[in-house]
Amino acid sequence: MPCIIEMLSVGNELLLGNTINTNASWMAAQATSVGAEVSRITTVGDNLRDISNAVRESLRRRPNFLIITGGIGPTFDDMTLKGVAKALNKHVQLNRRAVELIRGHYERRFKGKPMKLTGPRLKMARIPEGGVPVHNPVGTAPAVLLSADRTQVFCLPGVPSEAKAIFHESLLGKIRSRAGGRYFVERWSTIKGIMESNLAPIIDRIMTRTPGVYIKSHPRGVENGVSKIELHFSTFSSSEATAHRTVRGAISAMKKELRRQPGKVRMTE
């Protein structure tokens, strides 16, 4: 069975268009590279009801991992942990280990200076019952890990540098282990001189003849009167050699098909 991942991105700034959701695209690429499949990426604002509803909906689909980014900081609108707790019918409570992680961060940052754990700082240590705080190597707020039936729920900060650091340190290995040695292989090609509407049936034929391969076309406009399309070939397999062979076979089949097309159709890798 494949390792299925869903992602939930939290933040009004994402919905307003003020911030590009680089966290989701980066994590999806990382997860896919170790053999997992990202089935859904959802974005909601800093709204307790929307967060809890989105978490419940995801858990009903029973992914192996639900990765949530954003909304675990010290400000009033950081509601992710409350939303997760509400979805799981749990309370949030001050976690001693989370307090230690936060205190340690401030002590390292302000060496020799007096430091007080204020209300907003302690807010980052209030996590859902049963949650496990996870070390944040570059920031203040610890991540939080919870188990909900078959789903592992990870709540990460929204700051990209923090999310990436925690992902690499504490999450990527778990995903790789759960993916169970599946391999993902991808290659890109560029085709010039054919319209996407003419390319579509060729893609259908090759995917039918090459089970397991996925071919996605990306039109890139027209250059000097010649249409340009980028093709993405990808597959998952329990064998790395088989994955490479499948993709190479699909590319070879595409080249043969294009040689039969009228006009000057060129394909480069």
Model confidence pLDDT, tens digit, residues 207-233: 999 999 999 999 999 887 889 999 999
Element (H, E) at 230: strand 226-237
> What is the dihedral sign for C-alpha 99, 102, 108, 109?
negative
Model confidence pLDDT, tens digit, residues 186-211: 999 999 999 999 999 999 999 999 99
Average pLDDT, the chain: 95
| Residue 163 pLDDT > 90 | yes
Predicted pLDDT at 269: 85
Predicted pLDDT at 21: 97
Q: Domains in the chain and their CATH numbers?
A: 4-179 (3.40.980.10), 183-268 (3.30.70.600)
The CB-side HSE value for 11 (13 A sphere, CA atoms) comes to: 22
The owner of tokens 């995917």 is 207
- Single pTM value for the model: 0.92
Predicted pLDDT at 115: 80
Indicate the pLDDT class of residue 122, thresholds 50, 70 and 90. Answer: very high
Distance CA 74, CA 71 (A): 9
Structure tokens at 96: 């001693």
